[in-house]
A and B are shown apart, each in its own frame.
Chain A
Amino acid sequence: MSGRYQRVRFAPRATADVQGGYASASDGNLVRARLRWEPAPRARTMRVTFCGAE
């Protein structure tokens, strides 16, 4: 998943939902991406990696 400033990779597969309307004191126009994983039959490690874009 890629935005203007950030690229996010994740595993295992997930559904993604994007919501705007957030603001911090450093950025008044934030978009939030929410990832949802369904329960897995066995324990496993989830990885989320995000990279800033120059």
Chain B
Amino acid sequence: MLRRVANASWRLAAPDGDVGYWGRNQEQAFGLTFTVYGARMTAEEPGSDERLDGRMEALARRALERLQSAYAGGRFGLFIVPSLRRGAGPLALSGLDASAGVASFSGLALMSLDWSLEKSDRRRERPRPAGRLSADGSGASVLGTGQSRFATVRRGEDWFAVKAAPGPGRIRDLRFDFGLVAFKRRRSDGSWQDVIPLKPYTSNQPDSAGPILDPDGSRSLPYADDVRVNRRGVVTAIGGWRTITGVPVPAACASASRPAAVGFACPGRRSPATCSSSQPSCAVPLRGRGSGRRR
């Protein structure tokens, strides 16, 4: 089980070490430090071969580098999230879960970091060689199940993640939203730039970054039953729209807008700039309970 979780972390990690780009406790420092601990514990498990050791060490080091570059500093040495380090003031607190506390969450981060020291290279006669992250080379991964399913893609200088849908009880929180959730591009100096901001924490009403159907004032939000990636790195989220109570949009509405799969295409090097496209396609009609399948 530990190895499966660690491998999933290796696949979902962005090339800049980001592992908290969607969901609850978004971007919390303890997510990185527990990743370091888990990766190094996995490498120490009996049966871990050289290849897995290298992957886990790459994951651990990249997470530590992100902790240093995006979280370290300030009066107490560590910010629990990057927004507080950037000094956005009281508004930044509204982007955090109510359960987030500087003392408790810093403590979680420090505790797991301390645990990971016991697994660190400094205690070994020969340091583990670091391999590569999944995101260091072109390719794609599809992770998770159900509405938490999401895809990560690295193609050329671009890396991005696309998620299926918010789970039950999460439709008010944009951090769990459908669609493109993170998109980063490598600068000429090798560092990574966020092309889009991460989605904000919201809690007031059912919401989505879209596309939203609102033909007569009754909003329908996008969702996908499945997320797939083709060989060219194009992610297709296969689904449709549903009302805020979770009912797929009826045929009458579907016939007006013909909701269908929503594609996200990364134009790659042909693009003149750091661009991405979201192309809601109206070419595929809904079938059954709203799962317009496109193969």
Binding site for B on A (CB under 8 A): 5-6, 21-30, 32, 34, 36, 39, 43-52, 54
Whether the Cβ atoms of B91 and A28 lie closer than 8 Å is: yes
- Write the B268-295 contact mask toward A (1 if CB under 8 angstroms, else 0): 0000011111111111000000000000
Q: Would you give the shortest CB distance from B149 to chain A, in whole angstroms?
A: 22
Q: Would you give the shortest CB distance from B191 to chain A, in whole angstroms?
A: 11
In the bound complex, CA of A23 to CA of B275 (Å):
23
Residues of B within 8 A of A29 (CB): 88-89, 91-92
In the bound complex, CA of A43 to CA of B255 (Å):
10
Residue of A whose beta carbon sits closest to that of B260: A43
| B236 proximal to A (CB < 8 A) | no
Residues of B within 8 A of A52 (CB): 185, 193-196, 273-274
| B84 proximal to A (CB < 8 A) | yes
Residues of B within 8 A of A22 (CB): 95, 200, 202
Whether the Cβ atoms of A24 and B279 lie closer than 8 Å is: no
Q: Would you give the shortest CB distance from B49 to chain A, in whole angstroms?
A: 35
15 more A-B residue pairs beyond the given contacts A27-B86, A27-B95, with a C-beta to C-beta distance below 8 A: A22-B202, A23-B95, A24-B95, A25-B81, A25-B96, A26-B26, A26-B81, A26-B194, A27-B83, A28-B88, A28-B95, A45-B280, A47-B278, A50-B276, A51-B275
In the bound complex, CA of A51 to CA of B211 (Å):
18
In the bound complex, CA of A45 to CA of B279 (Å):
7
Residue of A whose beta carbon sits closest to that of B88: A28
Q: Would you give the shortest CB distance from B88 to chain A, in whole angstroms?
A: 3
- Write the B116-146 contact mask toward A (1 if CB under 8 angstroms, else 0): 0000000000000000000000000000000
- Which residues of chain B (79-125) have a CB below 8 Å from chain A? 81-84, 86, 88-89, 91-96
Q: Would you give the shortest CB distance from A17 to chain B, in whole angstroms?
A: 12
Of B198, B258, B283, the residue contacting A27 (CB under 8 A) is B198
- Which residues of chain B (193-215) have a CB below 8 Å from chain A? 193-202, 210-211, 214-215
Binding site for A on B (CB under 8 A): 20, 26-28, 70, 81-84, 86, 88-89, 91-96, 175, 185, 187, 193-202, 210-211, 214-215, 256-258, 273-283
Residue of A whose beta carbon sits closest to that of B184: A52
Whether the Cβ atoms of B20 and A25 lie closer than 8 Å is: yes
Residue of B whose beta carbon sits closest to that of A9: B275
Residues of A within 8 A of B88 (CB): 23, 27-29
Whether the Cβ atoms of B281 and A45 lie closer than 8 Å is: yes
Of B82, B93, B195, the residue contacting A26 (CB under 8 A) is B82
Residues of A within 8 A of B211 (CB): 46
Whether the Cβ atoms of A46 and B280 lie closer than 8 Å is: yes
Q: Would you give the shortest CB distance from A2 to chain B, in whole angstroms?
A: 12
Q: Would you give the shortest CB distance from A51 to chain B, in whole angstroms?
A: 5
Q: Would you give the shortest CB distance from B247 to chain A, in whole angstroms?
A: 20
Q: Would you give the shortest CB distance from B246 to chain A, in whole angstroms?
A: 23
Instruction: Given the known inter-chain contacts A50-B275, A51-B274, please indicate yes or no for A30 contacting B200, CB distance below 8 A.
Output: yes
In the bound complex, CA of A50 to CA of B196 (Å):
8
Whether the Cβ atoms of A47 and B197 lie closer than 8 Å is: no
Instruction: Given the known inter-chain contacts A25-B201, A45-B281, please indicate yes or no for A51 contacting B28, CB distance below 8 A.
Output: no
Closest 8 CB pairs of A and B: A28-B92, A28-B88, A23-B95, A52-B195, A25-B27, A28-B83, A22-B200, A25-B81
